Amino acid sequence: MIKAVRFFCLPFILFFFVPVFFTACSPEEHSIDFWAMDTYCEVTVYGGDCSSAENAVEQTEMLLRDSGGDSNTLFAYEKKEFEVPYDISNAVNLSLDISYKTGGLFDITIAPLSSLWDVSNRTAPPTENEIEEAKAFVGYEKLTVSGNKIIFSDYGMGIDIGAIGKGLAANKAVEALKKDGVEEAVVNLGGNVSVIGDKNGEGYKIGIRNPFASGIVGYVTVSDTSVVTSGSYERNFIYEGKLYHHILNPFTGYPFENGLVSATVICDDSLVADSLSTAFFAVGEEGAKTLLEECSNYDIKGVILISESGRISLLGGADELFTLTGEGFSLEK
């Protein structure tokens, strides 16, 4: 029985695979561990048989291979038009829509900047000139999706497919499990959590990580949905006493400084939750309510924002799902 989800701090996304490990197989619970996207992942099925969970892993691996093999970015260096699987083009189109809804604060074409910063491997920020040069190649309005084709207006532009890879993979795993008749399951791809069913009417308790210390600030009780968090604590480095994280502002070229440390989105579609968690972090507390209204077509069940001061803002129904367990936090509904 899952009481709180495990958390994994993700470095950069890398398409890499090792053998699957079947860690538990009992009549009540079947759990499979595997390594993908440079993070530990787990599929747990309640009831049924282990073959269902195994099939979900195979579907997940297949999707990741289709999304770029050893590369998780598309850059328009030698050509400006790319043909990709429809799953990928649909995901990019969704992210493009969110880019427009945020006015570019979330930008699917951020890859030139994120590749420059490469936060996981840096010990000092790039120079002003390097940042300005990279910014010139960022601009969601210069990207077009037509069928399964991704078309850049300018050479040098790029998109980070890895940034949406977990959401896509989680959806694929859930689809495979449901196809096999699974009614109760948890798919955890490095903290990107999707659940099937309602845990026999109890709901699944999914922990929300404490961004300041080990453990959780609380948990959400959910069923048949996905819970995804973006946070400045995931990937960062400190230079001359200042923290630089991986969520970049396309307009300044530097990491966002809007007072937030994490944004969690609860939504039935893991891909939507994946993209929107970054988008809500980008717009901050000030723009969150407006973005929530703009994204009403995505059926968001809740948004949880945690500020640097420890204030937890609960939006869009999150107040009915969230239970605070951590100390030193204040709730704002």
Residue ranges of domains in the chain: 73-161
Q: Which two tokens stand for residue 274?
A: 């994946």
Q: Which of left, alpha, beta for 257 (phi over 0: left; psi -120 to 50: alpha)?
A: beta
Strand order in the sheet with 216-222: 204-209, 216-222, 322-324
pLDDT of residue 19: 39
CA dist., res. 280 & res. 263, Å (int): 6
Separate counts of helices (H) and strands (E) for the chain: 6, 20
Q: Where are the beta strands (DSSP E) in the chain?
A: 21-25, 29-36, 39-46, 73-75, 81-83, 143-146, 149-152, 158-160, 185-189, 192-196, 204-209, 216-222, 225-231, 236-239, 242-245, 260-267, 300-307, 311-315, 322-324, 330-332
pTM of the model as a whole: 0.88
Q: Tell me the residue type at 47.
A: G
Residue 316 backbone class (left: φ over 0; alpha: ψ -120 to 50; beta: rest): left
Q: Give the per-residue pLDDT at 217.
A: 96
Residue 142: count other Cβ atoms within 10 Å of its Cβ.
15
Question: Residue 159's closest CA among 107, 219, 102?
Answer: 107
Query: Right CATH number for 73-161 from 1.10.3980.10, 1.10.8.60, 3.60.10.10, 3.40.605.10?
Result: 1.10.3980.10
| 313-to-229, 285, 297 alpha-carbon distances in Å | 14, 8, 22
**Residue written as tokens 């026999």?**
200
Per-residue confidence in pLDDT tens, the chain, 333 aa: 333 333 333 332 222 233 344 455 555 777 777 777 667 788 888 876 677 767 766 666 565 455 444 457 889 999 999 999 898 999 999 999 999 999 999 999 999 999 999 988 999 999 999 999 999 999 999 999 999 999 999 999 999 887 788 898 889 889 988 888 889 999 998 879 999 999 989 999 999 999 999 999 999 999 999 999 999 988 899 999 999 999 999 999 999 999 999 999 999 999 999 999 999 999 999 999 999 999 999 999 999 999 999 999 999 999 999 999 999 999 988
Residues 192 and 298 sit within 8 Å (Cβ to Cβ): no
Residues, the chain = 333
